[in-house]
Amino acid sequence: MKDEFEDQYHFKFVRLIAEGGMGNIYEAILYGAEGFEKRVAIKMVREEYSSAKEFVKLFIGEGKLVADLVHQNIVQIYKLGKVNGNYYIAMEYVHGVNLRDLMTKHEELGTKVPIDIGAFIISRVCRGLEYAHAKCDHEGRPLSVVHRDINPNNLMIATEGEVKITDFGVAKAASFMEDKEGSVIMGKAPYMSPEQAKGHVTDRRSDVFSLGVVMYELLTGRSLFSNGEDVKAVMENVCLAPIPDPREFNPEIPEDLVKIMLRSLDRDLDKRYADAGKMGYDLEYFMYHKGYGPTILTLEKHLRLLFPKLFVHLKKEKSKEPTLAISARWYP
């Protein structure tokens, strides 16, 4: 099927990026007129699951939803297509790493993520979520988007230092995604909000809590709710376990940043940040109110130190060696 897809839709598959339970993601080249080429990512439903109606509904819903989410901190969708009965999404190709890769690299080196880098990454995710949460349709009606799966694997960092949210596959939104909250719990247990874990209706504050969990792990190097327990135990932790002061694991975290983190993790919805924009503002004030603070260039330089082979790949592209550029791996 892949060969037919390449012939009919002017894509050339380069490599498999990731293989999931029901879908695969490929790096590909999109060809057009007069030698036009664009590197893209292709997300495809695996053939054995193409007849699974519930999954296909989610896949189609993701494509339709994200098509209108155009923001520098969200991975852009170019096309929802179908070939031989199998759906695919063509999307922005992000040359870089995900947040899990960054955290793992620091763990391997025995170092903590720098405070300014961590605060900057989370602030960019806040701005992407703020945009998605506030998005309206063409008639001005709120889409009421809730991502429901904010976790380190779904947060990309490009070599240019841009942070991007991806994978709205289990998001809910008016008119696009079927809402089965209460009967189906979606998302990854260690990053769920308490209301999500209980099967209650979620809103934008649920994503804020999930981002707070990510922030806690990013700056402390410790998972907040998961220590190898089964899923049920993790979900109980999400709802009931005490939240330790993050300075127990990283004394360098400033008090002002601890306050932001703990407010995002408040189980009382009325005390939690009402939206990601307010959390983003507090993070930006923390970073910049005394003068110059971190930027995408700061993050790019940090990536160069941790993942130098990512940038060797870019040098090969600039030197007009297409075969090497296409076949190069990100990093070992």
Residues 148-191: tens digit of each pLDDT: 999 999 999 999 999 999 988 777 765 554 555 554 567 789 99
- Name residues whose C-beta falls within 8 Å of residue 22's C-beta, 6 or more positions apart in sequence: 45, 46, 49, 52, 55
Mark which of 93, 114, 146 sits at the end of a domain. 93
Same domain for 289 and 227? yes
User: Buried b / exposed e across 254-265, counting CB within 10 Å, b at 16+?
Assistant: eeebbebbbbbb
Write down the pTM of the prediction: 0.88
Residue 124 forms part of a structural domain? yes
Lowest mean pLDDT among 26-35, 155-164, 243-252: 26-35
Largest interatomic CA distance in the chain = 61
Residue 313 CB burial class (10 angstroms; 0-12, 13-18, ≥19): middle
Q: How far apart are CA 238 and CA 253, in angstroms?
A: 23
For residue 153, being part of any structural domain is answered with: yes
**DSSP character for 74?**
B
* Shared-domain flag, residues 197 and 82: no
DSSP E strands: which ranges in 20-70? 23-31, 37-45
Residues 122, 44 share a domain: no
Residue 102 sits in the same domain as residue 9: no
Catalytic residue (choose from 7, 68, 137, 149) = 149
- How many domains does the chain contain in total? 2
Domain coverage including residue 18: 2-93
**pLDDT single digits (tens) 202-215:** 999 999 999 999 99
> Catalytic residue at 230?
no
Q: Which residues partner with 42 through β-bridges?
A: 26, 90
